[in-house]
Amino acid sequence: MKRISLIVVSALLLTACVSKKKYMALEQDNGELKSELNKTKVEKEELEAKFAAIEARVENYNAKINSLTEENNSKLVNVGGVVISENQKQALHENLKRVPPAYLATAKTLKDSMNLALQFNLKSSMENIEEDEDINVNIEETVVMISISDKMLFNSGSYRISDKANAILQKIADVVNSEESLDIMVEGHTDNKTLKPNAAVKDNWDLSVLRATSVVKKLQSDYNVAPEKLIAAGRSFYQPLVDNDSNENRAKNRRTRIVILPNIDKFFALMSADQ
């Protein structure tokens, strides 16, 4: 009987011992979890503080932006549908003083005056380009269109520029380089004759584009026209001046048209930069 009691007591002691170890382990895990929780709470509070600071900075920036926008808007004026600053308006008035009053007599609005001033400046710049049977100059409002015959620029069926073109291209480059606000578009036009089979140039579309790009590249490389001011376009034979029903008429349709046009955004930017 005594032996049985000892066995029971021993079993109870062993059982109590194992439970205590588990308890201690659980206590340790609990402590670690509490520590991790406290660390997470601290990190959360730090993130919330940073986020609040960012929100305050964003609100401050937005307030500054709104203030500057209101200030700038108060300085802008509408000139015939074109919104410009007061400084640009004053610069425009100074520009108009250099134009003969008689030239501005037909202007009804400030925008009309601006267009007439640009037109006057372009016409003055074009005085060194003489018209003949191979060169035609036409000015419509603020756009200058110079049509150059095929025989003046290229050999027949070729897109290689002839030396005969040097003089006119130099004059055109001088005009464009004299005014930063001018852009230039070069259009190639052909007649409707089919090109020879197996030729290096496939058709009139290719020929018109290659001729336009040849002129553009020469203006850039030989006459220092800024490439960002240049546009090349091919028209093939789809915009003829006259019907392609005779050799004489086809010769008229084979041409390169150079369009000089003012870039209004550049024009105002340059006026603003002068202030």
Mean pLDDT over 28-53 rounds to 81
Angle between helices 86-96 and 264-273 (to 10 degrees): 100
State how far the Cα of 200 lies from the Cα of 258, in Å rounded to an integer: 25
Residues with Cβ within 8 Å of 218's Cβ and at least 6 positions away in sequence, in order, are 161, 165, 169
Return the pLDDT at 234.
95
Owner of token pair 């700038």: 72
Name 240's Cβ contacts closer than 8 Å, sequence gap at least 6.
Answer: 189, 191, 192, 249, 253
Which residues are CB-neighbours of 38 under 8 A, at least 6 positions away?
A: none
pLDDT in tens, 201-235: 889 999 999 999 999 999 999 999 999 999 999 99
Whether residue 272 has pLDDT greater than 70: no
pLDDT of res. 77: 61
pLDDT digits (tens, 9 = 90+) for 105-146: 887 776 677 777 777 777 777 777 777 888 888 877 678 888
Q: Where are the domains of the chain?
A: 1-79, 130-273
**Mean pLDDT lowest among 61-65, 76-80, 161-165:** 76-80
Q: pLDDT tens for residues 181-196? A: 788 999 999 999 988 8
Residues 6 or more apart from 264 whose CB is under 8 A from it?
82, 181
Tell me, which fold does domain 130-273 have in CATH? 60s Ribosomal Protein L30; Chain: A; (3.30.1330)
User: Residue 163: which of 216, 201, 211, 218 has the closest Cα?
Assistant: 218
pLDDT band at 243 (very low <50, low <70, confident <90, very high): very high
pLDDT, residue 185, reads: 94
For residue 121, what are the contacts with CB-CB under 8 A and spacing of at least 6?
99, 179
For residue 157, the model assigns a pLDDT of 72
| pTM, 2 dp | 0.60
Q: Which among 66-75, 84-93, 220-229 has the top mean pLDDT?
A: 220-229
| Cα–Cα dist 195/174, whole Å | 35
